[in-house]
Structure 1
Amino acid sequence: MATIKQEIINAAEPDGSDGPDRKRLRRAEDQGSSDDPNAQVIKLLLANDTLNNENSELKMRIQQLEEALRNRPSIDIGNKVEEMDNWIKKLEKIHDEDIDLLKKSISDLAGKIDGKIDNLSQNVDNLSQKNEKVEKNQQKKLDKMARNIEQNEKDLQKFRQKIQAKIDKSMKAENEKSMKHMNEKFEKFRKQISAKIEKSAKNEEQDGQKKLRRGRPRCPPK
C-alpha cells in the first residue's frame, strides 16, 4: 500500500521519470527530521511553486492532507507502550488465572474421580461379600438338598424292600393256597377217576362172569 509521500510523488511525475521535483522530494526525504515524515513532505511540496503551479489538483490534494494532519490527534507513544504493557500483563494474569483455574478444575475432577473410584471399589467389595454370602447359603441349601435326596433314596429303598417282602409273603400265601386248592381238586379228580375205573372194572368182571356162565354146559340133574 503506497504511503502519502509516495502517492504525492507519483502524482507529481505520472510517467515515472526522475524529474527535478521528484529529486527535490527525495533530497527532503534524505535530510530527515524528528517530525512526522508525511508532514515534512507536505511542507516541502507546498513550498514548491513550480509543482503547485503545474498541478493545481495536486496542490488541493496536498492541502487536504495538511488539514487532515493538523486535525489528527497526537499519539503519545510512551502511553501507548505503557498501555500495551498493561494489556500484556492483564492477558498474562488472565492466562495465569485460567491456568490456575484449569489446574484447580483438574485437581477437583481428579478428586471427584478418586472419590467415585473409592465408592465404586467399596460397592464392588460389598457386592463381592454379598455374592460370597449368597454362594455360601446356596451351597448350604444344595448340601441339605443332597442329604435329603440321599435320605429319601434310603427311605425309598427301605419302603421298596418292605413292599417286596409283603408281595413275596402275599404271593407265597396265595401260591400255597392255590397249590392246596389245586391239590384238593386233583385229589378229588383222581378219586373220581379211580372210582370210575373201579366201577368199570367191576362191571367188566361181572359181565365176564355172566358170559362164562352162559357158555358153560349145564350139568344134568341127578
Structure 2
Amino acid sequence: MKRTPEKRQAILDAAAEEFRDKGYERASMSDIGLRTGFSKTTLYGYFGAKEALLAALVDEATENGVAAMLEVLAGAGPHLAVTLERFAGRYLSYALSPSVCSLRRVLAAGAGRSELDLRCRDLGAARIDAALAGYLRAQMEAGALRGGDARGSAQQFRALLEASWFDRVLFDYGSGPGPGQVEEEIEFALAAFLRAWAPALPVATDAS
C-alpha cells in the first residue's frame, strides 16, 4: 500500500466528522472507513488505532495555532500591552477556530481517561501557559507587572479571554464572538489583566 498525504488527510477529515456526529466512544474505525471508502486495512496502515486518530487530529488542530502564539512571545518588543494584545488575537483566532471548537466538544463528551486521552484534552494549553508564563515572569522581574505567580497570571489572562463565550461554544448553545466582538473581548481582558497585575505604587513617606 502506497501512503499518500491526500489519503492520510481524507482519513483525518472522516474521523473528525465521525467523532463530531457520534462522539468518540461510539465512533468506530469501520464507520470511518465507510466515510472514506477505504478498507480497514488501509486505515490501520495509516493509524494503528482510534486513539492514534484522535491524537493526530489534536496535533493537526494545535500545531499551527500554538506556533503562532509562541512566535508573538518570542519576538516580543518592549511594550507589554502591545505584545499581550497580539498574543490575545492569535489565541482567540486559534481557540475559536471550527476545528478546535469541534474537538473541545468531542473531548468534553468523554474520550476516556488514558494518558493519551488526557494529553489530547489539553489542546495545547500547557504549552501556551508555559510560554506565556515565561514572558510574564520576565515582565514581573523588569517591574512592568506586580510580582507573583507567573503561571497563575498566564492562566488568568486566558480565562479572561474566554470568559464570555467558552461555555456557549463548548456546550454548543450559542456562537463565539464575531470579528468586531473579538476586539472588544481583547480590550476587556487586557484592561482587566493589567489592572489586576499593575505594579504596586511606591509608598509615600513624609519628608522630615
Fold agreement, TM-score > 0.5 = no
Name the TM-score, length of structure 1 as normaliser: 0.21
Higher helix share: 1
CA radius of gyration, larger in: 1
Query: With CA pairs under 8 Å and 6+ residues apart, which has the higher RCO, 1 or 2?
Result: 2
